[in-house]
Chain A
Amino acid sequence: MIDSNFRKALIEVVGKENFDDTNTEKLVYSYDATPGFQAMPDAVIAPRSTEEITEIVKLCNDYKVPIVPRGSGTNLCAGTCPLEGGVVLLFKHLNNILEIDEENLTVTVQPGVITSSLIEAVEEKGFFYPPDPSSMKISTIGGNINENSGGLRGLKYGVTADYVLGLQLVLPNGETIRTGGKLAKDVAGYDLTRLMVGSEGTLAIITEATLKLIPKPNDTKTLLAIFDRMEDAAETVSAIISNKIIPSTLEFLDNLTLNVVEDYAKVGLPTDVEAVLLIEQDGHQNVVEEDIASISEICSSNKAVSVHVAETKEEAEKLRTARRSALSALARLKPTTILEDATVPRSEIPKMVRSINDIAQKYNVNICTFGHAGDGNLHPTCLTDGRDREEMQRVEAAFEEIFKKAIELGGTITGEHGVGVMKAQYLGLKVGASGLDIMKSIKTAIDPHHIMNPGKVFSKESMMKEVVNNDNT
Chain B
Amino acid sequence: MTTPEEKQKIQEAFHQRVDDDELLNCMRCGFCLPKCPTYIESGYKESHSPRGRIALMKAVSDGLIEPDEDVERSLELCLGCRACEPVCPSGVPYGHLLEEVRDIINQNKKFPFKTRVLRKIVFDHVFPHHHRIKTLTNLLSYYQSTGMQNIMHKTGVLNMFPDTLATMEKVLPQAPNKKKMNKRETIMTPVNTKKKRVAFFTGCLMDSLFRETNDATLELLKIAGCEIVIPDQQVCCGALHGHSGEKERARDLAKKNIKAFEALNVDYILTNAGGCGAFLSDYDHLLKEDEEWSGRAKKLSNKIIDFSSILVALDFHQNHLFLHQQVITYQDSCHLRNVLGIKDAPRRLIKAIDHITFQEMKDADTCCGSAGIYNITESEMSMKILDKKMINTKATHATTIVTSNPGCLLQMKLGVEREGMADKVRIVHLADLLLEAYQPN
- Spell out A's residues near B (CB within 8 Å): 22-25, 27-35, 72-74, 90, 92-93, 114, 135, 137-139, 264, 325, 327-329, 331-332, 335-337, 386-387
Contact = CB atoms under 8 A, between A and B. Distances in A.
B357 interface: no
A78 to B, nearest CB: 11
Interface stretch (B22-30, B169-177, B202-210, B342-350): B22-30
A328 B33 contact: no
A27 B30 contact: no
Given A27-B56, A92-B43, A331-B89, 18 more contacts: A23-B65, A23-B68, A23-B70, A24-B73, A25-B46, A28-B49, A28-B52, A28-B55, A31-B28, A34-B28, A73-B46, A92-B44, A93-B43, A135-B29, A331-B25, A331-B29, A331-B90, A336-B24
A74 B89 contact: no
Contacts of B33: 72, 138
Contact of B30 (A29, A73, A264, A325): A73
B66 interface: yes
Which 7 residue pairs spanning A and B have beta carbons closest together? A328-B89, A24-B70, A331-B90, A335-B24, A28-B52, A28-B46, A92-B44
A331 B65 contact: no
B30 A135 contact: yes
Secondary structure at the A interface, as helix, strand, loop or mixed, is loop
Contacts of A325: 89
B31 interface: yes
A138 B31 contact: yes
B71 interface: yes
Contact of B21 (A72, A73, A331, A335): A335
B63 interface: no
A180 B440 CA distance: 72
Contacts of B34: 114, 137-138
Given A24-B74, A27-B64, A337 B46 contact: no
A35 B74 contact: no
B59 interface: yes
7 contacts: A22-B68, A23-B70, A24-B56, A29-B46, A72-B30, A264-B91, A332-B25
Contact of A332 (B43, B55, B70, B91): B91
Contacts of A34: 28
A32 B29 CA distance: 8
A28 B47 contact: yes
Contacts of A74: 29-30
Contact of A138 (B30, B55, B71, B74): B30
Nearest to B23: A335
Interface in B41-100: 43-44, 46-47, 49, 52, 55-56, 59, 64-66, 68, 70-71, 73-74, 88-91
- Point out which of B30, B47, B59 has the most chain A C-beta atoms below 10 A from its C-beta: B30
Contacts of A328: 27, 29, 31, 88-90
Nearest to A135: B30
B65 A264 contact: no
A22 B72 CA distance: 13
A72 B28 CA distance: 11
Nearest to B28: A33
Interface residues of B, number: 31
Given A332-B89, A386-B24, A31 B55 contact: yes
B327 to A, nearest CB: 24
Nearest to B42: A92
Nearest to A339: B27
B65 A27 contact: yes
A335 B92 CA distance: 11
A80 to B, nearest CB: 11
A296 to B, nearest CB: 30
Contacts of A73: 28, 30, 46
A35 B390 CA distance: 39
A139 B34 CA distance: 10
Contacts of A27: 55-56, 59, 64-65
Given A24-B56, A24-B65, A332-B91, A35 B27 contact: yes
Contacts of B49: 28
A337 B27 contact: yes
A129 to B, nearest CB: 18
B29 A264 contact: no
A336 B89 CA distance: 13
B27 A22 contact: no
B93 to A, nearest CB: 12
- Point out which of A30, A327, A328 has the most chain B C-beta atoms below 10 A from its C-beta: A328
A44 to B, nearest CB: 9
Contact of B56 (A28, A92, A336): A28
B90 A332 contact: yes
B30 A33 contact: yes
Contacts of B28: 31-35, 73
A335 B24 CA distance: 6
B146 to A, nearest CB: 48
Contacts of B65: 23-24, 27
Given A28-B55, A332-B89, A335-B21, A23 B27 contact: no
B264 to A, nearest CB: 32
Contacts of B52: 28
B89 A24 contact: no
Contacts of B74: 24
Nearest to B70: A24
Nearest to B30: A74
Nearest to B48: A28
B70 A22 contact: yes
A102 B98 CA distance: 48
A182 to B, nearest CB: 29
Contact of A25 (B21, B47, B64, B66): B47
A106 to B, nearest CB: 26
A300 B424 CA distance: 60
Nearest to A30: B55
B31 A24 contact: no
A212 B220 CA distance: 57
Contacts of B68: 22-24
- Point out which of A73, A93, A114, A387 has the most chain B C-beta atoms below 10 A from its C-beta: A73
Nearest to A92: B44
Nearest to A261: B89
B261 to A, nearest CB: 30
